[in-house]
Chain A
Amino acid sequence: MAHDTAVLVLGGGSTGCGIARDLAMRGVDVTLVERGNLTDGTTGRMHGLLHSGGRYAVSDQASATECIEENEILREIASHCVEETGGLFVQRPEDSDEYFREKLEGCRDCGIPATVLSGREARKVEPYLADDVSRAIQVPDGAVDPFRLCVANALDAERHGARVETHAEVIDLLRDGDDIYGVEIRHDSGPGKRTHKSPGTTEEITAEYVVNATGAWAGQIGAMADLDVAVRPSKGVMTIMNVRQVDTVINRCRPKGDADIIVPHETTAILGTTDEEVADPDDYPEEQWEVDMMIDTLAELVPIVEEARTIRSFWGVRPLYEPPGTGTQDPTDITRDFFLLDHDERDGVSGMSSIVGGKFTTYRAMAEEISDHVCAKLGVSATCTTAEDPLPGSENISVLEEGMDDFGLRSPIARRSNQRLGNRAADVLETDEPNPVVCECEGVTRAEVQDAIDQSGSDLNAVRIRTRASMGNCQGGFCCQNMATELHPRYDEETVREALDELFEERWKGERHALWGEQLSQAMLNYALHATTMNRDNDPANGSTQVDYAQFDGGA
């Protein structure tokens, strides 16, 4: 039987996109389907740490070694997604000297460059560190933009012939006896780019091999074919600050604990995190104590976060897994390693493997190993080249840096556009049309928004993750409307209105967890702009009853 595609990858997170790119580059025909936007699951809900491996240098040296290797690869192939911030493991007076020593030795054992700084030296690097921080270990941690990295993988997969379908939810696995041969999906608005208000359709996609890379959702997919994938989703909170209180990743140097990391990320700093098992990765409580704990505990390391402005909080769900029978109680102790479950070997059902566990920093290595496995199944012999070939945006980056161009933009905006777009900057920003700024907080211009719309259709959250527009201090209060108007006339007025509502709601969702002080003031201003000035809360265009205009003042 002829199949629609050789390999069908389920899940548009870092793992799925990494596999799609890897296989496509090896010449394999790939289709990737994702329920929402790329990164909507776990990838878009992480703190943006590019591990040096230091975090695992005591507890899990195999992972630590893999992290430093992949860290070095990503700096090369994805330089436009990575900021080389460096990291510190800081010790407070109450933290163990013994653990500090183990951490340092562990780093050295794993090939992670590590230098000890005195408290004073550490405060020279990061002036806001608490006065009683006694020492620190400096390691090459970094910050990575998971959205940009994931999108770049998907783009490159498409360039190599892959089909990438977002807003395509798997509603069934197609199984014939002991063979899985594809899926049935529901398109939110028909195949291709998403367009609001377009009717949904369903589609069957058959494949020689299916890769279930849905992470925390892998159990739900498995259940569609009566396969038991005992993934243990664990939630963690992240709180975003309005500015970068630190320019270096700050880790607490102690065995484990919640609220022990601050990652500088673009214009913000992200506080993280917690680790708590949840039953359903789509429905779990997001609680006040979690946000308070981030601030209160991390203020022990960087006291000014106590008084600083937070702009939102969000939660992510780790796709933790351990082999049946391990029985670890505390999710913090569950391994961060990944597992490839070949359902043929495990369950006697051929045609599909599931990937569970793992971590973002090593997504490429995971993708390579899985792609090797899939190629072996398909009898394809081709070598992986993802460690050498740069991602779109990071090609010829040295040439870009020499010829840094302002594209007629104010220099801070040009600098930030260049950082986001890498070597695609010239293609995107060189235009004869006027190119005003659409999002002031993040310095995003019309040309960059239009480029994102080219990629993703009428979905403004997809535009957001590509450009960072609406992700700054105002949380979209001032720019959501401007982003939406960029959809017109490509999309009609009704589509624009719905896309705007969806983005505005999404921004509010995270902002609710930062509603005090300056951000509550900002929220009231946003509310006033959208309700008072624009009357979006009672827009007659949304109503079912016609307004009787004749009853109103018709002018003097």
Chain B
Amino acid sequence: MAITDDVLVIGGGLAGVTAALAASDAAEDARIRLVTYRQSTLRHASGLIDVLGYAPGNTDDQQQPIADPFTALESLPESHPYQRVGVDAVREALAFFDEVAGDAYAGAHTDRNALVPTHGGTVKPTARYPVSTAEGVASDDRDTLLVGFETLPDFDAPLAAAHLEAAGAPFDARGVTLSFPGIGRDDAKVTRYAHLLDHDERVETLTGETGAREALAATVNPHLDGESRVGFPAILGDDHPAAVREALSDTLGADVFEVPMGPPSLPGLRLEELLYDALESAGVRVTSGVPVVDYETVAVDSMGANSTAGESETAAIDHVVVDRNGAQIPHEADQYVLATGGLVGKGIESNRKRVTEPLFDCYVPHATDRYDWFVDDVFGEQPYARFGVVPDEDLRPLNSDDDPEFSNLRAAGAVLGGYDYAAEKSGAGVSLATGYVAGTRAGEGCQ
């Protein structure tokens, strides 16, 4: 007997979770399941929700960031995933995210992008940002002290401060490098720093044993010189980040913010936690750590009823097969959402000869010569960055004849092709918008 649901979402990143939540929202009584295999790529990401920071296809050496992403969406090419779902859907998806994220995220008060300091020291445009980052936005002209730590080579605060100045940020930034109280090992993981602060562990200082939060504030305090905000690398707590910031802020008498970091990214992990809590509240069933390894189809006649598979009609997915410790377990659903990610998440794979979508073998356009998959300029217009399946307006992946591969499969997030999220700064936005639309349609489409 197959495990039966109404909607089955494959993939547990931002797009998959959004699809599952949207399906559950669209069809309250429906049984929604999400299956995931690998750890999601959220932990690699900064936790920022970018919508559109730069116009695609512009090969100018240096582009100006987009201040109003929603106006700019209108002029994207037809093939862009945003155009496939439409600008209104992007707005609805962001509103949906705002509701899910609640007060954990900021930026919803305006259509405008914020410029957020990066750990390399420049700024990047983004539409929503974790509330831990809110006091750090670069259009806020308050002077800033950046604090880095000797044992965290990813963030050099004095260098980042100098870089912000070179980027023309409208405030004075100064950086100091300090020793983090309570960190004895040079190779402590970022989660160790967060844990110390979350639990306010007792740490040794020159003046005796105190809580980690107080000790950190006391380390920073002598370096404050009138700045009204202090930026730290994103290590300020995992479970209780608000309490950690508040404690530091109270003692320092200045606002405290985090600078988003590379992997492993605590803001990314916090977002993942927030999303999975929302899945639980919505009653979505989550099966994790299992790969989908196979599928079976049935043909669909023009009335939409299933019949034995034939050659000419669009097929429907009857069930997929999940591998659980070697056991092949069928999962049946009415509607399916493919949200397995792009090249990084392995929803798109390649070998020396071709590029594929490995689960359903959906069509992925690409040059036959792999030396045409890239251009020589590392930040040039990279064809490989656009690899992915081609969706119709209903987000159903199309085959090479522009017909839907399956009548009941939609795709969302980085598995979609036709856009370069890294250049555009559009990754999270496309995942939200397409996840939202694919999930909503899947929910509505349940019989």
Contacts and interface: CB of A to CB of B under 8 A. Distances in A.
Given A524-B344, A547-B168, A493 B119 contact: no
Interface in A438-493: 438, 445-446, 478, 481-482, 485-486, 488-489, 492-493
A538 B65 contact: yes
Contacts of A547: 64-65, 115, 123, 167-168
B187 A436 contact: yes
Contacts of B139: 549-555
Interface in B147-166: 150-154, 156, 158-159, 162-163, 165-166
A436 B153 CA distance: 7
For A488, A494, A536, A548, the residue with the greatest tally of chain B CB atoms inside 10 Å of its CB is A488
Nearest to B46: A533
B186 interface: yes
B210 interface: no
Contacts of B351: 516-517
A399 B430 CA distance: 60
Given A434-B150, A552-B113, A481 B64 contact: no
For B179, B344, B421, the residue with the greatest tally of chain A CB atoms inside 10 Å of its CB is B344
A206 to B, nearest CB: 41
B297 interface: no
B256 to A, nearest CB: 14
B186 A494 contact: no
Contact of A532 (B112, B350, B427): B427
Given A493-B166, A531-B423, A534-B119, A516 B350 contact: yes
Nearest to B142: A555
B98 interface: no
A539 B262 contact: no
Contact of A540 (B150, B167, B423): B167
Nearest to B422: A531
B120 A536 contact: yes
Nearest to A512: B374
Contact of B153 (A486, A489, A553): A486
Interface stretch (B2-10, B318-326, B365-373, B392-400): B365-373
Contacts of B382: 527
A408 to B, nearest CB: 7
A555 B118 contact: no
A553 B110 contact: yes
Contacts of A520: 343, 350, 373, 384
A427 interface: no
B379 A524 contact: no
B432 interface: no
B144 to A, nearest CB: 13
Q: Give the bracket for the number of chain B residues in contact with chain A.
A: 35 or more
B153 A515 contact: no
Contacts of B186: 408-409, 434-437, 445
Interface stretch (B70-78, B79-87, B130-138, B220-228): B130-138
A541 B122 contact: yes
Contacts of A538: 53-54, 62-63, 65, 423
B370 A516 contact: yes
B385 A527 contact: yes
A492 B156 contact: no
B153 A488 contact: no
A416 B280 CA distance: 46
Interface residues of A, number: 68
Contacts, number: 221
A250 to B, nearest CB: 22
Nearest to B378: A508
A385 interface: no
B123 A525 contact: no
A345 interface: no
A51 to B, nearest CB: 31
B178 to A, nearest CB: 11
Interface in B139-198: 139-141, 150-154, 156, 158-159, 162-163, 165-170, 179, 186-187
Contacts of A525: 44, 343-344
For B113, B119, B151, B378, the residue with the greatest tally of chain A CB atoms inside 10 Å of its CB is B378
A481 B421 contact: no
Interface in A507-521: 508, 512, 515-517, 520-521
Nearest to A435: B186
B143 to A, nearest CB: 14
A539 B46 contact: no
B156 A533 contact: no
Nearest to A508: B378
For A436, A437, A504, A536, the residue with the greatest tally of chain B CB atoms inside 10 Å of its CB is A436
B427 A482 contact: no
A555 B140 contact: yes
A523 to B, nearest CB: 7
Contacts of B50: 532
B378 A554 contact: no
B211 interface: no
B166 A555 contact: no
Nearest to B47: A533
A210 to B, nearest CB: 37
B107 interface: yes
Contacts of B435: none
A554 B140 contact: yes
Contacts of A199: none
Contact of B169 (A288, A482, A549): A549
B359 to A, nearest CB: 16
Contact of A493 (B62, B152, B163, B384): B163
B122 A534 contact: yes
A4 B382 CA distance: 50
Contacts of A549: 115, 138-139, 141, 168-170
A482 B119 CA distance: 11
Contacts of B262: 478, 481, 529, 533-534
B196 to A, nearest CB: 16
Given A493-B159, A516-B370, A545-B64, A537 B169 contact: no
A546 interface: yes
Given A533-B45, A535-B122, A549-B115, A524 B62 contact: no
Interface string A34-64: 0000000000000000000000000000000
A72 interface: no
19 contacts: A434-B151, A437-B186, A493-B159, A517-B351, A520-B350, A520-B373, A523-B384, A525-B344, A528-B422, A535-B122, A538-B53, A539-B167, A540-B167, A541-B166, A547-B64, A549-B115, A549-B141, A552-B125, A555-B134
Given A436-B187, A552-B138, 11 more contacts: A295-B352, A409-B186, A516-B350, A524-B422, A528-B45, A547-B168, A552-B125, A553-B110, A555-B114, A555-B135, A556-B109
